[in-house]
Chains A and B, each alone.
Chain A
Amino acid sequence: MNELGLGVAILEHEPTGRTDPDAVDATLAASGDASAFERLYRNHVPRVYGLVRRMLNDDDADEVAQDIFVRAWQKLGTFRGEAAFGTWLHRLAINVILARRESLGTRRKRYIEGDAVLETLPARRPGPEMAMDFEAAMQRLPDGAREVFVLHDVQGYRHEEIAKMLGLATGTSKSQLHRARMALRQHLER
Chain B
Amino acid sequence: MNDQWTERLSEYVDDELTDSERIALEAHLQTCAHCTTIVGDLRRVIRRARMLREQAPAHDLWPGIARRIGATPAPTAKTVDLAARRRIRRWSFSLPQLAAAGIALMMVSGGAVWLAGVRAADPVVVSINNPPNATPAVIPATVRPSASQSYAAAVADLERVLAQGRGQLDPTTVRVIEQNLAAIDRAIADAQRALEADSANLYLNSHLAETMRRKLDLLRQAAALVPVS
- A residues adjacent to B (C-beta < 8 A): 2-4, 6, 8-9, 11, 16, 18-19, 23-24, 26-28, 30-38, 41-42, 45-47, 49-50, 53-54, 61-62, 65-66, 69-70, 73-74, 77, 80-81, 134-135, 149, 153-154, 159, 174-175, 177-178, 181-182, 184-185, 188
Contact yes or no, A9 B149, CB < 8 A: yes
Contact yes or no, B144 A175, CB < 8 A: no
Contact yes or no, A34 B57, CB < 8 A: no
Q: Which residues of A contact B158 (CB under 8 A)?
A: 19
Stretch among B41-49, B115-123, B177-185, B188-196 lining the A interface? B41-49
Contact yes or no, A49 B150, CB < 8 A: no
- Given the contacts A47-B54, A174-B11, A18 and B46 also touching, CB distance less than 8 Å: no
Residue of B nearest to A188 (CB): B44
Q: Which residues of A contact B200 (CB under 8 A)?
A: none
With an 8 A cutoff between CB atoms, is B143 at the interface? yes
Give the interface SS of chain B, mostly helix, strand, loop or mixed: helix
Q: Which residues of B contact A74 (CB under 8 A)?
A: 69
> Which chain B residues numbered 72 to 86 have a C-beta less than 8 Å away from chain A?
73, 75, 77
Q: Which of B68, B145, B148, B150 contacts A70 (CB 8 A)?
A: B68
Contact yes or no, A24 B151, CB < 8 A: yes
Stretch among B24-32, B59-67, B97-105, B125-133 lining the A interface? B59-67
- Given the contacts A19-B154, A32-B209, A185 and B42 also touching, CB distance less than 8 Å: yes
Contact yes or no, B147 A31, CB < 8 A: yes
CA A80 – CA B145 in complex, angstroms?
Answer: 9
Q: Which residues of A contact B210 (CB under 8 A)?
A: 33
Residue of A nearest to B151 (CB): A27
